[in-house]
Amino acid sequence: MNKLYAAYCRTYQTAFKYATKVLDWSGPQVIRGAGSVKKLPGVLKSRDISNVMIVTDKVLHSLGLLDSLKAGLDEKGISYVIYDGTQPNPTIPNVEEARDLYINHNCQAVIAFGGGSPMDCAKVAAARVAAPGKTIPKMRGTLKVLAKLPDIYAIPTTAGTGSETTLAAVIVNPETHEKFAINDPCLRPKVAVLDPELTVGLPPHITSTTGMDALTHAVEAYIGRSNTPGTTAAAEKAVKMIFASLETAYNEPKNIQARDEMLNASFYAGVAFTQAYVGYVHAIAHNLGGFYNIPHGLANAIILPYVLRFYGEAIYEQLAKLADIAGLDTAGKSTDEKAIMFIDEICDMNIRMKIPSSFDCIKEEDISTIAERALIEANPLYPVPVLMDKEQCMQLIRSMMA
């Protein structure tokens, strides 16, 4: 990378790190445990909320996962309208449809029910309600919403995105195939409901890829240059829990304890990256998702080892610590050996959970644009341990091709 631009990136990141210290980083109220979704209507009632919009998707709606929530809302006399048109990678039209539904039914708050996609759709729909004169592309980036949103109540049904505690939302522009992030503290939900019973029915491939998404959040936050003592502790806690529980949840889908551990791990990883940020894994994953509609967790799971190897020795000390925290057999190993062991174990976890090691959809003619857009997202904002230029990014993407 050009030395002058690299210096600009590092200066920007340092200034941004200190500037964000003035922001309110307090997280949502958390309701935990099996059956906790039944407690949310009471919380809404105590806050004098009588009319809400639920944002979800058609699969979750058809499976009846919302039934206990709807029954509780009925019991408390709370009206609701459901938007279930969210796509796996939510689009600008999805958000506008949800916003219109909210306004047309005079709703007072938003309940995001599902994985990262319904949550992202719900967050940006609430932003559009609060800032009707600002289009979604104008919200792209950091601190571009700056409005008081309707309260958002988040109920994750996957253990991966951590969106129930983050200030981020990711949206696709279907006209340009761009997938971009909107980051603003006002997007952070007021309440997060972590009910492991809602994740019991997840297919194994969703359990695995969303779990690796959570691991990616924790690792990218941990190795970045904007850590705080709080984000470091949250990332370490998430890594320990994921290595202890993810494969159990994958192999024993009805294991409530493992499901509960993974929901909490996802939450802690979200706490870590919402302040310490992510890195090139996410930047590339977002843009592969925009081009080829690859599920975000799957993209992160495949990309993570490639990017960690690109960073090389610059992150060996941090990865060695994570290897110890993850419970790997590191006795007598050097720092370098521990770090390489940690990366190899991620690859082995992917293999055991039937996650592929490469992509079979990437087209050579798209690589330049994907790399360019990934770097627009990442540089100068993401405080990555090693900066990457376009040629390096293109080479990295090519190495991921099947």
Taking the mean position of all CA atoms in its chain, how far away is CA 219? 13
**pLDDT (tens digit, 9 = 90+) per residue, 35-78?**
999 999 999 999 999 999 999 999 999 999 999 999 999 999 99
Residue type at 248? T
Written as six digits, the tokens of 147 are 């409005």
Domains of the chain: 3-16+202-399 (1.20.1090.10), 33-199 (3.40.50.1970)
pLDDT value at residue 22: 87
Percentage of residues in the chain with pLDDT exceeding 90? 95
Query: So what's the pLDDT on residue 20?
Result: 87
Question: Model confidence over 92-102: pLDDT tens digits?
Answer: 999 999 999 99
Residue 123, pLDDT score = 98
Burial 131-143 (b: 16+ CB within 10 A, else e): beeeebeebbeeb
Q: At what angle do helices 280-292 and 296-311 cross, to 10 degrees?
A: 140
Whether the pTM exceeds 0.85: the reply is yes
Q: What string of DSSP letters covers 173-204?
A: ETTTTEEEEEE-GGGS-SEEEE-GGGGTT--H
The C-alpha atoms of residue 375 and residue 378 are separated, in whole angstroms, by: 5
Q: Is the dihedral of CA 84, 85, 89, 94 positive or negative?
A: negative
Q: Are 235 and 218 in contact (CB under 8 A)?
A: yes
Sheet holding 178-183, edge to edge: 141-142, 178-183, 168-173
User: What per-residue confidence (pLDDT) applies to 12?
Assistant: 96
Extract the residue ranges of the chain whose pLDDT is less than 50.
none
